[in-house]
Structure 1
Amino acid sequence: MINKPVIKLTLLFTLICFFQIQAQGYKGDPDVSLETARQLAFNQHRKQAQDTLLNVLNKYPEYHDVRSFLASTYAWDGDYKKARKEFAYVIEKAPENKDNWIAAIKNESWSEAHFEAVEMTKKALKLFPNDAELLLLKATALKNTNNTVEAKNTIKEVLIQNPDDQKAQEFLTELGNTAFTNSVGLKAAVDVYSKVFDPMQYYTFSYGKQTKYGNIIAKYNFNRRFNENGSQLEFDLYPKITKGLYAYINLGFADSPIFPDLKYGAELYKSLPHGLEISAGFRNLKYSTNTSIYTGSIGWYTGNSYWSLRPYFTPIDGNTSTSGAINYRKYRSNADNYLSFTFSMGTSPEVNQFIFSTNDTPIVNLKTERLNVGYFFTTHKNKNAWSAQFDVAHQEISFNPGNYFWVYSLTVSWDLRFK
């Protein structure tokens, strides 16, 4: 066994070499310097190790092992942005090095950029098909985005190749213990107007089922508006079509003047490289007349953030009304924990149904500005999902154009998940 005085002398010699390099500029053997940096880093002298590595890179910028180890030290220090930059460089220059991909994916996971980690594993698996280590990293990232069904399918790919893989077996067991495929939910909301209207109330009871073909959600909506009560039965489906392609289908029925008699719609979503997603679809609302709305979206997952832009186009009486919303989400531990900000302008019949009645043609040219802030979080091992949203709108009065009121809204929701 090496005694402590020898270890101390070795570290002292390493530090002396480091300071000589700093004083004279780099003139040494890069392989020796890399090994010196490793000793420094593994003995809690990471700042000195990083300075040594940077000195080597000043003279040998294409020494990828040096840059990769530098990126790893940044990741260990929690400086994920610096690590991401260095990993991106070595992966671009040497994509055939699997270890760099693995380290880069772990950096994204440690920084809680789980959507980015999923995208990176997809790219890596194109170069290293069916690689067990990469598949495990992908399954972990999918789990962290609450895509437990896809995480299970990914782990099963590992077990098909190697049924005795202990890590994969343990992961599958863990998923089985924590994965929830059913949920029931309650949502309550109230709109308070600065003038004209009394407060309006909204309640929703829902049941959701997650299947390998996609998600199904059934909802019962009860509203009290204009001193009238009304209810609506609604269904949302999210069928998976193929890898990176899924759909949204909506169908609703009501027998109340404060809801459309019939509503239906569909939208197609396509994942693109670099964390992008696009969609296109339509909605149809049947009051006394039919109103068709055409919409789509552009979404972008970057790190642990998400941006989306959604316009609405509503043709009516030979004209087309346009409205739109931009949304930003800052994710925390997983896809159910985030802070959301949405700003919208214009009026969409899909979102602002309260301005329509069975006797009047829908008014879609009203001027509106709206800001929504929401906080979404989970408790008790993600079994309970909660949300609270506050919304303020400056809305033109439908029967008195040019005059406005303020609308203040509060929404709270709770979902209970179970197997």
Structure 2
Amino acid sequence: MSRKWRIGALSLIITLHIITKKAFAQHIAPVDSLFKQAQELAKAGKYKNSRKLARQVISIVPQHTDAVLLIGRTFAWQNMSDSAKATLLPLIQQAPPNQEALLVLADAELWAGEPEQSLQFAETGQKAFPASPFFLLAKARALHHLKRYKEATEVVRAIPEEQPQYEAALTLLEKIIDASMVNRLRVVHQSTVFMESMSPWHLSSIEYTRLAPKAKFLARASYAQRYSKQSIQGELETYPQLTKNTYVYLNAGFSDNKLFPTYRAGAEVYQVLPFKIEASLGARTLFFPSETVVLYTGYLGKYFQKQWLSFRPYFQKQQDGWQTTGIVQLRQYLKHEDEYLTLTLAKGSTPYNLVGFEEISRLDAARVGMEGQFRLGKSYLAGGTLMYEQEEYESDASHNRITMGLSFQVKF
């Protein structure tokens, strides 16, 4: 090649390089701007619009990993774990896997109620990045949700103090220690006073609860004093988990046949639905000496971030038709899941605390009440109840009563 041709080829290469560099710079500017807009939209909770801009970024720069991660994160924040996985799996299938993608997937599965899958992603990240404390924390969270408290404690304690995740680890450790206290002993006393000339009623109980990985067991002894009569009752309850989203309530009890039903039994099936909604169907059977009463019931509840809203109906078959009761409860959780305030509104004949047959036979009632529970240190809880009720036993006569209660609970 002659000198003239060599100079011409070199000039062409330089020119093409300059043109390409300018074009690339022109591309980068709008890409950066689009990605920043996508980030701002995600922070504002406008996830769909954020993903739209992030996809535009990817269409310009296909290897824009941060845009792919942003799309995956917004799916995770919306509890759309399948979409998050479909987006981020290509990033963790490469060698080495993308660290942030593994962390996002571990969080997404945990938020979606899949702690086993979350644990798998956390362990994969721990193997690929053994020096990273992020995966230790993710693994501990998954083990905590799986109720493998001993393993979770060991993993948390392995996070060095100098790591920025150490404070979060201490907070998680406190939760694990709290959850590992699977025994509960609770004492409750309630007194009911009437605005009419009736003697007060008293109801006391002591109950022991044991929390198992797949069930809850409860034993309760109750004492009632009404109409110058005294009565005791013993009950056993359990809440076994049948599947991941299904559990049942079973109850059996007996008494000395002075006030309480001679025998009682109950069963209810609970189903966890999407969007943190629960529903159930069941019945309670009360065997009094003079009559057997069957109360059909159900439940519909929804959990929000810090609130719980529920509706429970009762249906009782009588000679002249059906008697119905509706109970609405709104609970506000405070700093800890054991601390809350609950507002109760009810209309119908079924009582709040069912003791004697007389309450079952009343015609109607309306109730409003507040209940609260608060922590006294890590292992102790105290609660209180205040409730007003207007009840009708005859069509032309009604009673007004106020119920006050105190409770104390210890966890160990």
Distance in 1, Cα, partners of 2:397 & 2:270? 39
Deviation at 1:257, TM superposition (A): 2.3
For 1:95 and 1:238, locate their aligned partners in 2 and report how far apart those are by CA, in whole Å.
33
Structure 1 residue aligned with 2:121 = 131
Residue 403 of structure 2 is aligned to residue 409 of structure 1:
yes
Instruction: Give the corresponding residue for 1:312.
Output: 314
**Structure 1 residues 50 and 198: alpha-carbon distance in aligned structure 2, compared to 1, 3 A threshold:** closer
- Partner of 1:215, secondary structure, is strand
- Structure 2 residue aligned with 1:395, among 385, 388, 391? 391
Question: So what's the TM-score if we normalise by structure 1?
Answer: 0.67
Give the alignment's TM-score, normalised by structure 2. Answer: 0.68
Partner of 2:13: none
User: Which secondary structure does the structure 2 equivalent of 1:385 belong to?
Assistant: strand
1:319: Cα distance to partner? 2.1
Asked if structure 1 preserves the Cα contact closer than 8 Å seen for 2:35 and 2:53, the reply is no
CA distance in 2: counterparts of 1:132 and 1:105, whole angstroms: 6
Q: 2:127 corresponds to which residue?
A: none
Q: CA deviation at 1:32?
A: 3.2
Aligned length: 343
Counterpart secondary structure, 1:191: strand
Q: Which has the larger radius of gyration?
A: 2
Contact residue 181 and residue 411 of structure 2 kept, 8 A: yes
Deviates more, 1:279-288 or 1:344-353: 344-353
1:122 — aligned with what?
113
Q: 1:67 to 1:206 in 2, by over 3 A?
A: same
Q: 1:278 to 1:225 in 2, by over 3 A?
A: same
| Unmatched segments (≥5 aa) in structure 2 | 1-26, 58-65, 89-99, 124-134, 160-168
Query: Are the counterparts in 2 of residues 202 and 221 from structure 1 also a CA contact under 8 Å?
Result: yes
Asked if the contact 1:139/1:152 (under 8 Å) is kept, the reply is no
- What letter corresponds to residue 321 of structure 1 in structure 2? Q
State the Cα distance separating 1:105 from its structure 2 match.
9.4
Q: Read off the aligned partner of 2:254 and give its amino acid letter.
A: F
CA distance in 2, matches of 1:276, 1:102: 27
Q: Is the 8 A contact 1:235 1:250 kept in 2?
A: yes
What is aligned with 1:180?
181
* Structure 1 portions without partners, runs of 5+: 1-26, 73-83, 107-116
Task: After superposition, give the CA deviation of every residue in 1:174-202 in whole Å (9 maximum; x if it has no partner).
Answer: 67744212121111111111114211111
Deviations 1:200-251 (A, max 9, x none): 1111111122223412111111111112211111112112222222111111
Separation in structure 2 between the aligned mates of residue 101 and residue 322 of structure 1, nearest angstrom: 52
- The CA distance in 1 between the partners of 2:281 and 2:253, in whole Å, is 20
CA contact (8 A) 2:285 2:294 kept: yes
Q: Output the CA distance in 2 between the equivalents of 1:175 and 1:412.
A: 26
Where 1:96 maps in the other structure, the secondary structure is helix
In structure 2, distance between residues paired with 1:300 and 1:101: 30
Task: Go from structure 1 to structure 2 and tell me whether the alpha carbon gap of 1:93 and 1:121 turns closer, same or farther (over 3 Å shift).
Answer: closer
- Alignment partner, residue 369 of structure 1: 366
**Separation in 2, partners of 1:415, 1:124:** 30
Aligned to 2:375: 378
- The equivalent of 1:222 in structure 2 is 223
Counterpart amino acid of 1:386? A
CA distance, structure 2, for counterparts of residue 337 and residue 272 of structure 1:
25
Identify the structure with bigger relative contact order (alpha carbons < 8 Å, sequence gap 6+).
Answer: 1
**Structure 1: how far apart are the matches of 2:203 and 2:109?**
37
Letter in 1 for 2:366: E
Distance in 1 separating the partners of 2:307 and 2:139: 19
Give the secondary structure class of the aligned counterpart of 2:112.
Answer: helix
Q: 1:9: which partner in 2? A: none
Q: Which amino acid aligns with 2:369?
A: N
Change (3 A) 1:119 1:154: farther
**Pairwise CA RMSD of aligned residues?**
4.5
Residue 231 of structure 1 aligns with which residue?
232
**Cα displacement string for residues 354-403 of structure 1 (whole angstroms, at most 9, x for unaligned residues):** 4528xxxx415x2211112111222312x11221111111111x2x3232
CA distance in 2, matches of 1:199, 1:405: 13
